[in-house]
A and B are shown apart, each in its own frame.
Chain A
């Protein structure tokens, strides 16, 4: 199942709708890394609210996405990890180190806006 990726202002938002196979995950990673520069996005939000399980491959892929997008000059936030999922991930030693996480989409957007990734922080004024 493909993950829809929406452009919202300076952000790309990928909302995972259902369980993903390893191939789906790889495809998501590749698409995001290409798209982020194409649309000149300043940040990427991956919403995983719908996922009941996040295994080691998914964790590694999400971390890779974050690091690759960082190298492409943008920020990544993973949002909507369920409480039970979070604890089982930590038990397996999957802690998404160095990747920003937020409670849900709203929080993720607020986090990015605070960090100055939103469009209003990048106004260009012409001097007369």
Chain B
């Protein structure tokens, strides 16, 4: 019991002195601001970090990072720094700044400041130790905050881009009255297969399509679950009263379809997209007639 009380009373003055040491530290960093900032910017350039930015830009960013850094040390709150880190990331990510660069500059700043502390307090080893006790946890916390902010921002951008790719990945195009084409390019994963089915069936409904040409020339291979999914999509389209013509099957995909034992009576396949569209036109009763020899000269 008595031990614990002693500990408790011993901790309080320590906390207080941590605060006072931090104050001293912040005052020191404010005094040396111009010189340390210069030193830091020089080290960034030397280490070949932030090569996507000009010297002036680096110096301007270094100034705001420095000020935010000192402020976070002073107040012990990281919200403002977090917001700044996110804002900075938003600006520099599109310019191709990498994670290692951002982590690198924050660590460089930590080193610059630590060295300046060594230089100032090297005569009083105990004082240096106490100052470092106050400085190190705060500095590490700042480094983590900035790095995490950067990575989170990056992940957010990646998520947005994935969303955009997903939206673009299954276009449904009407080429004639009641005729749709779906050109698919790239690997079909289960999620994309689901989306493809959805788009195809919705497209049939909204465009009142009778025939759909599903062109998979740009798909190198598919696995059995996705192949099954494709076959099911073709059957579901039939229930909506539409015919699906699949074109451009690669030898690998043909093999996969045969391996899963697809009922060829249900699958309407044509060699290439052109043949598929011609077949679709035939089903819809169109006849395309050449009315004039094509002219190659510009009009």
Q: What total of chain A residues lie within 8 Å of the partner, measured CB to CB? A: 18
| Dominant SS among interface residues on chain A | helix
B192 to chain A minimum Cβ distance, whole angstroms, is 15
Count, A-B residue pairs, CB within 8 A: 49
Assess whether B201 is interfacial by the CB under 8 Å rule: yes
Per-residue 0/1 for A70-114: is the Cβ within 8 Å of any B Cβ (1 yes, 0 no)? 000000001101011011011100011000011100011001000
Assess whether B21 is interfacial by the CB under 8 Å rule: no
Inter-subunit contact B208/A83 (CB<8 Å):
no
- Of the four ranges (under 10, 10 to 19, 20 to 34, 35 or more), the interface on chain B belongs to 10 to 19
A31 to chain B minimum Cβ distance, whole angstroms, is 24
Inter-subunit contact B238/A87 (CB<8 Å):
no
- Contact with A96, one of B198, B233, B239 (Cβ below 8 angstroms): B239
24 A-B pairs (CB sep. < 8 Å): A78-B239, A81-B239, A81-B240, A83-B198, A83-B201, A83-B202, A83-B205, A83-B236, A83-B240, A84-B201, A86-B201, A86-B237, A86-B239, A87-B232, A87-B233, A87-B236, A89-B236, A90-B236, A91-B232, A95-B238, A101-B239, A103-B205, A107-B208, A111-B241
- Which 7 pairs from chain A and chain B are nearest by CB? A83-B201, A102-B241, A86-B236, A86-B239, A90-B232, A103-B241, A87-B236
Other 15 A-B pairs with CB < 8 A, given A83-B204, A107-B208: A81-B239, A83-B240, A86-B236, A86-B237, A87-B236, A90-B232, A90-B235, A90-B236, A90-B239, A95-B239, A96-B239, A103-B205, A103-B208, A103-B242, A108-B241
B residues lining the A interface (CB < 8 Å): 197-198, 201-202, 204-205, 208, 232-233, 235-242
